[in-house]
Homo-oligomer: A and B are copies of this chain.
Amino acid sequence: MKKISVKKGEILQRKGELNSKVYKVHSGLLRSYSIDEQGKEHIFLFAPEDWIIADNSAKDVPSELYIDALEDTECEAINRDEDLVLEPLKLLKRMAVLQNRVIMLMSASAIERYNHFLKTYPHIVQRVSQKMIASYLGITPEALSRVKKESHGKR
């Protein structure tokens, strides 16, 4: 359990690493993301102040996700087994977020996904680029741009 300072753009953890930690963000903004076979980035999670971010692969399996900083960030690195006993309720909350995300990805259109994002991360919209948001939603930046334009009257 030690404090870490990360500069914007720095990579905290890479896909394929085994010694994966859990990071608790005190200030700033981290994200986790995967890169698929075609080299495309998919943002898995944003972690602003007070959120916890981690790769959740089994402990003996190389991690699937990269974690890096979208802003200069102060955070705390915790061992995964410590995390389990330290903050069990936060863990349940993370499960809830993931569950909503799966349901959303299976049933929601582009615009519905965007609205879901606004609800999950009300304070992040101003801090990240459209490109990042699109990557989180699982659509292209072009599609996001279109969809926002079309919905101007409707919300």
Q: Which residues of A contact B (CB under 8 A)?
A: 34, 36, 40, 42, 44, 55-59, 61, 64-65, 80, 84-85, 88, 91-96, 98-103, 105-107, 138
User: What's the Cα separation between A138 and B106 when bound, in Å?
Assistant: 5
Copies in the complex: 2
- Chain A contact surface mostly: helix
Residues of B within 8 Å of A80, CB to CB, are 92
User: What's the Cα separation between A102 and B65 when bound, in Å?
Assistant: 12
Q: Is the CB of B56 within 8 A of A107?
A: no
* CB nearest neighbor in B for A94: B95
Choose one: B36, B94, B95, B102; the contact of A105 (CB below 8 Å): B102
Q: Is the CB of A98 within 8 A of B100?
A: no
User: What's the Cα separation between A34 and B98 when bound, in Å?
Assistant: 14
